[in-house]
Amino acid sequence: KNQVEQSPQSLIILEGKNCTLQCNYTVSPFSNLRWYKQDTGRGPVSLTIMTFSENTKSNGRYTATLDADTKQSSLHITASQLSDSASYICVVSVEYGNKLVFGAGTILRVKS
Amino acid sequence: NAGVTQTPKFQVLKTGQSMTLQCAQDMNHEYMSWYRQDPGMGLRLIHYSVGAGITDQGEVPNGYNVSRSTTEDFPLRLLSAAPSQTSVYFCASSYSGSRVGEQYFGPGTRLTVT
């Protein structure tokens, strides 16, 4: 069964600190992996999309990594800001059939 | 570009009532989809469309209908609302192809069925 699991479920960090969010997937055949940021009361917004051949991709203070062999991805946030408080969702695209598999998300709260 | 727009933003229905959630995009995207988001769960696909006149079922289609008469619009109809349909609904669009491209989400419709 195609699944995406994220950890931790929630996380609280102090402003300025770094953090790493994890994503494990059992999706086949794999097409690409995406990370989305969802602010409270808003729709998800794309942060990165990585294909099978990409190991690392950055978007400002966000850096995503992908290990296709172990089927793991991580999202690293550097020098966190209060505006980083949101839910971060890992999504894996299946190669055929216009299908995306969503993780339940990690809720990040950045405190001052 | 307005991107993806959804109306209404909030809606309360009584059990058995019907209604249509509206979704429109102005990016000329071929692929459009509807998701529901429930607490503690990932977004689940209800229906999707790869172009005008073409729709297909997603993971949780029961109780919902869709149609795609134009590229821009993709309404979602609740036939007879049930409390289990209380959720936040998101519409999304992307360029089509054999794989789903980068998706752009609307702001969501929060639906409560009493």
Percent of chain B residues past pLDDT 90, beyond the cut: 83
Section A35-39 average pLDDT: 96
* DSSP three-state, residue A23: strand
Q: What is the per-residue pLDDT across B91-110, written as a single tens digit (0 to 9) for each?
A: 999 886 555 568 899 999 99
Cβ contact B99–A98 (<8 Å): yes
Which of A99-103, B17-21, B53-57, B61-65 is predicted with the least confidence, judged by mean pLDDT? A99-103
What pLDDT score does B8 carry?
A: 97
Q: What is the per-residue pLDDT across A73-108, written as a single tens digit (0 to 9) for each?
A: 999 999 999 999 999 999 998 876 667 889 999 999
Cβ contact B34:B64 at 8 Å: yes
What pLDDT score does A97 carry?
A: 61
> Cβ of A16: how many Cβ atoms within 10 Å?
11
Strands in B28-86 per DSSP E: 31-37, 44-51, 54-57, 64-66, 76-78
What pLDDT score does B100 carry?
A: 59
The residue in chain B having the minimum alpha-carbon distance to the alpha carbon of residue A43 is B107
Chain pair A-B, CB pairs under 8 angstroms: 54
Pairwise CA distance, residues B31 & B92, whole Å: 8
